[in-house]
Structure 1
Amino acid sequence: MLSAKSLFQEILDSDEAFRLFCSIAAGGEAQGGWENGRIAALVPAGLRALGPKIARHGADENKHGRIFNALLKQRGLMPAQVPPETDYTLLLERRGIGLAHERLSREVPLCDRDVIVYLAHSRVTEQRASEQMRQLLRIFGDHPALGRAVRMISRDEDDHLAYCHEELLRLAAAGHGRTIQTVLRECALAEIRVYRDVSLAVMRHMGTLLHWSRPKAALLAAGIHAAYAYERLGGWRRMVSLRQPARRDALGTPPVPEAEYA
C-alpha cells in the first residue's frame, strides 16, 4: 500500500535516498539560521525587543541543520550536493518572498515593514515545517534512531509558529493589520507553488534513487498536484490566519534544557 509511512520508510532504508533527504533538510535549516541571524543583527531600534527572539529562532534553525548532519554521520554518510530545483529557501527568495539575501548582507538597519515581511514569511513557512514535522512525528516518533531528533525539531517548529502568531498579532494591534494580511496572502500563494515544485523535484530524484516504476512515480506526482489544487482553492488560508497561541512567549523563555542531539 502506498502511504506516507511506506514512502518515508523506503527513504530511510536507502543510504542514498536518506543522504539526499537529510542534505536537503540540513541545507534549508542552515540557510534559515543565517537569515535569522542577520535579521536579528539588523532589527530596527523601535523593535529591538524582538532581536533576542529572532536570534533564538536562528539558533534553533542552525541546531536543526546540525541534527540532520549528525543523522548522516551516524550512518557513515557524507552530505550530498543539493539539486537547485529542490532548494525551497532559494526558490522562495527568487519569487520575492521574504527578505533578499542581498538586503541582509548590507549593514543597514531594517525598517518596520521589513520585520513584518520577515514575520509573515516565517508564519507561512513555519506552518509548513510544523505540519511536516508532525507527520514525521506520527511515523517515526518512537523510532530508536530518529525518534529523539524528530521530537526535538517538531517541538521547536511548533514554538516558532507560536512566536510568529504572537508577534504578528502584536504588530497588527499597533496598526499594521492591513499590511500584515496583504503580505501573508502574497507569501502563502507563492509558497504553495514553490512547495509543489520542490515536492515534484524531490520525488523525481527519489524515484531515480529508489528505482520507482513509472506508474508509482505518476501516482505520487498526481498526489502532489492534487494537494496543490486543494491549497490553491482555499487550503492556503490556514497559512494566513492569526490566533493567540496556547504557548505564549515561546522564544522569549530559555530553551528546554536537553543535550543537543548532534
Structure 2
Amino acid sequence: MLSAKSLFQEIIDDDDAFRLFCSIAASGESQGGWENGRIAALVPDSERALAPKVARHGADEDKHGRIFNALMKKRGLQPVPVPPETDYTMLLEQHGIGLAHGRLKRDEPLTVRDIVTYLAHSRVTEQRASEQMRMLRKHFADDPDLGRAVRMISHDEDNHLAYCHEELLRLARAGHGRTIQRILRACALAEIAVYRDVSLAVMDHMGRILGWSRPKAALLAAGIRAMYAYERAGGWRRMVSLEMPTRRDALGGPATTAVEFA
C-alpha cells in the first residue's frame, strides 16, 4: 500500500534517490537564505526593526541547506545538479511571485510594498514548508539518522510561519490589508500550480531512479493532480488566512546553530 511514509522510506533507503532529494532541498534552502539576506540588507528605514528578523530567517534557511548537505556527507554522498523542472524557488520567481533576484541584486532600498510582497510570498511558501516538515516529523522524528534534522527544521519552519502571520497582521493594521490579501491570493494560486509541477517532476526523477512500475508512477501522479484539484477548488484558502500566532516574536532572537550536522 502506498503511503507518505513508505514513499519517503524508499527514497531514504536508496543513495541516488536520497542524494537527489537532499540536493533539491539544500539548493532551495540556500536560495532562500540568500534572498532573505539581501532583503535584510535592503529593508527601508521605516521598517528597520524588521531587518534582524529577516536576517534570522535567512540564517535559518542557510542552516537548513547545510543540514541537508551534511546528511549527504554522512552517507558519503556528493550533491548532484538540481534539474531545472524541480527548482521550486526558481519556478516561483519565473511566475512573478515574490521579489525578483534582479531587484535584490541592486543596492537600492526596498519599499514598504516590497516588504508586503516578501512577507505575503513567505507566508504562502512557509505554509507549504511547515506542512511538509510536520509530515516528515510525524514519520521520522525518531529515526536515528534523520530525526534531529527533521525536528530542528520543522521547528524553524513553524517559527517562520508564525513570524509571517504576525508581521502581516501588523502591516494590515497599518493600512495595507487589501494589498496583502490581493498579493496573498495571487501567490497562493501560483504556488499550488508550481508545487504540482515540481512534485510531478520530482516523482518522475525518483521513479526512474527507483525503477517504479508504470502503474505505481501513474498512481502517484494521479494523487499529485488530485491534491492540486483540491487546492484549486478551495484548499488554497488555508494559505491566505491570517491569525495571531501562539508563538509571538518567533524570530526575535539569534538563529540557533546546527553544529552537530556541520
Q: TM-score, normalised by structure 1?
A: 0.99
Relative to structure 1, is the Cα distance of residues 217 and 100 closer, same or farther in structure 2, using a 3 angstrom cutoff?
A: same
Structure 1 unpaired stretches of 5+: none
Match of 1:115, as an amino acid?
I
2:113 corresponds to which residue?
A: 113
**1:139-178 alpha-carbon deviations (Å, 9 max, x no partner):** 1000000000000000000000000000000000000000
Match of 1:52, as an amino acid?
P
1:15 corresponds to which residue?
A: 15
Determine the C-alpha separation between the residues in 1 that align with 2:257 and 2:18.
29
Displacement after TM superposition at 1:259 (Å): 4.3
- 1:1-262 maps to which residues of 2 (within 5 A)? 1-255=1-255, 259-262=259-262
**1:99-118 alpha-carbon deviations (Å, 9 max, x no partner):** 00000000000000000000
User: 1:165–1:243: 8 Å Cα contact kept in structure 2?
Assistant: yes
User: 2:11–2:17: 8 Å Cα contact kept in structure 1?
Assistant: yes
Displacement after TM superposition at 1:261 (Å): 2.8
User: 1:148–1:261: 8 Å Cα contact kept in structure 2?
Assistant: no
Displacement after TM superposition at 1:258 (Å): 6.7
User: 1:26–1:68: 8 Å Cα contact kept in structure 2?
Assistant: yes
Relative to structure 1, is the Cα distance of residues 146 and 43 closer, same or farther in structure 2, using a 3 angstrom cutoff?
A: same
Structure 1 segments, 4+ long, off by >2 Å, are 253-262
Root-mean-square deviation (CA, aligned residues, Å) is 0.9
**1:122-141 alpha-carbon deviations (Å, 9 max, x no partner):** 00000000000000001100
User: 2:17–2:206: 8 Å Cα contact kept in structure 1?
Assistant: yes
**1:180-220 alpha-carbon deviations (Å, 9 max, x no partner):** 00000000000000000000000000000000000000000
Match of 2:186, as an amino acid?
E
Q: Secondary structure at the match of 1:244?
A: coil
Residue-pair matches, total: 262
User: 1:17–1:210: 8 Å Cα contact kept in structure 2?
Assistant: yes
Determine the C-alpha separation between the residues in 2 that align with 1:139 and 1:163.
26
Percent identity of the aligned residues? 77
Displacement after TM superposition at 1:257 (Å): 7.1
Q: TM-score, normalised by structure 2?
A: 0.99
Determine the C-alpha separation between the residues in 1 that align with 2:32 and 2:256.
21
